[in-house]
Amino acid sequence: MENIINEITKLTIEWRSLAGKDHCKDRDFHWYIRTTWSYGKPPVYIVEHHGYILNEITEEYSTYEEALLGLKNILSEKIKEEKHYQEDARHEGYL
């Protein structure tokens, strides 16, 4: 689990460097895994992001480890999309 946490930490640094080039706010750089216990059922783990650039992200997982992997995948996907967006913008002369 420590390895995945280290990988996520590196991804958040990369996300900050990419998204920080655009107009952004502090909340664009915070990611959460919320744990919810309800009605005597096992907990659920919700990956959340409440930024302006990506808007709201809410993904539910049954285990903390799945949530960590989900967060890693979400960050990887959004980094890839942001790189593609910036590359297109450069070609179009916007950046």
In the chain, how many domains are there? Answer: 1
44-86 per-position pLDDT tens digit: 999 999 988 888 999 999 999 999 999 999 999 999 999 998 8
Amino acid (1-letter code) at residue 11: L
Residues 6+ apart with CB under 8 A from 44: 35, 36, 38, 60, 61, 62
| Structural domain boundaries, residue 40 | 2-92
Residues 6+ apart with CB under 8 A from 45: 33, 34, 35, 36, 60, 61, 62, 63, 64, 66, 67
Q: What is the pTM of this model?
A: 0.87
Residue (of 70, 68, 63, 86) closest to 14 by Cα position:
86
